[in-house]
Structure 1
């Protein structure tokens, strides 16, 4: 793993703003504005419009009806955790989104992708010099990748790099206290159905963002682990109903419930323009046995 020191915020965060993510929101906005300005505000191709600088901090009631219906409790979620995701109806490419300030891909400080051990399905623990395991409700993520240029057929053998915040809203390799960890990061190739599967924990909700999982798609595992060309960078949104049940455990997720209450899926600066309709996962399970999140995307 590269040891270059990541940039640190220089300003004291405002009251109520997570200290590790004050700079992150500004970085996300600048990146989104630059990317979507370059795209020329293309419409009708599944891409989001320009994101405004203001973040809606109202209650998530607007998105609750849509988001809540995507999560339903099912018996034996743990036994179905490794099941291949059923491909959903996809007729447009998933929107490009910012990778944020904590990608760990070498574009902003450290690079975990060239480390031995990054290709793994279970990303709950750090690897290398640390074996710390991230706490949280079990979550299996099935991300199915389809080819927009080929009738949205399943893409076998492409690689997905996934990463997300821990239960306290921290990103390994960057945030204070976990700079020497690399948990909740990993690369997986897609199977014959185009699905890459990760075993992880439910991410926390930090101030100013809807709960999400970052991902990058590469042409192959070799490309992913050699700083190759990124095919797609985007994010997975998690449904409100599941988030509320998980965040009821305030001992493990100390700030998530209050942070979730101050934002909404439709007001999120990444998902807000279309309510995350192309990025909202279907989630089943419960907070005791764990959850399974399925999403099919076009690239």
Structure 2
């Protein structure tokens, strides 16, 4: 009788041990997710070789983009560091990387304001005389450009986003598009939490007038990192060249 009880207790211990381990592992992952994003989003304009969607430049395009050839576009704006790595590929040639393409990006600051505009209408704060969070880079042999910036804030009616305009080496426009950010629990958007504004009134991708028709998430970047170490965005944009 004692031997049966001993064997029964031994079997219970063997069965329960992996369950306890899985529970502990889940707790560790949940705790980590509140501090950092390790993998989020698709990071590509498409899973196949198709051109990225064409989107509006919006009401705040860079006025003279050729004057802002630089990789660090921060210009003293406060916010959590964001390193954006964008790869440009040719959708007409099996999506091989394009070397020598000009890539312009621009986005709002932590408070939702754009440089080069303001003082009336959509943006009451006047930033017409400054040029923060705007820049141009030339793609390398791998079709890559890298920008140092801050994590964008948000403004009424739009989800968090980055504008992109791609030109060929001759200066001809190839694509105007936008980059969306992953959303939901544990994502960078949730961790940043709209900076001081919070997320009350935020427009999510599904309701955004640009991204709402993106059913395959082809415009959503991969975003990793943390507030302490900064965030990293990667995106592949296929353009007809």
TM-score (norm 1): 0.60
1:204-227 Cα distance to aligned partner (Å, 9 max, x none)? 01111010000100102xx5xxxx
CA distance in 1, matches of 2:139, 2:160: 24
CA distance in 2, matches of 1:87, 1:276: 10
1:247 aligns with 2:211: no
Larger radius of gyration: 2
Q: Which runs of 5+ in 2 are unaligned?
A: 1-32, 119-124
1:268 aligns with 2:208: yes
**Once superposed, what is the RMSD of the aligned Cα atoms?**
2.3
Within-5 A mapping of 1:218-257: 218-220=167-169, 223=170, 228-240=171-183, 241-247=187-193, 253-257=195-199
> Displacement, 1:89?
4.3
1:179 aligns with 2:139: no
CA distance in 2, matches of 1:134, 1:288: 17
CA distance in 2, matches of 1:87, 1:163: 18
CA distance in 1, matches of 2:224, 2:232: 5
> Displacement, 1:72?
5.9
Count of aligned pairs: 193
CA distance in 1, matches of 2:136, 2:236: 17
- Partner of residue 280, structure 1: 220
Within-5 A mapping of 1:154-169: 154-169=97-112
1:44-91 Cα distance to aligned partner (Å, 9 max, x none)? xxxxxxxxxxxxxxxxxxxxxxxxx9x9635xxxxxxxxxx9998442
TM-score (norm 2): 0.74
Q: Which runs of 5+ in 1 are unaligned?
A: 1-68, 75-84, 105-110, 126-132
- Partner of residue 231, structure 2: 291
- Partner of residue 202, structure 1: 151
1:94 to 40, 46, 52: 52
1:131-162 Cα distance to aligned partner (Å, 9 max, x none)? xx111100011111110110111111111000
- Partner of residue 212, structure 1: 161
> Is the Cα contact below 8 Å between 2:44 and 2:220 reproduced in 1?
no
1:112 aligns with 2:70: no
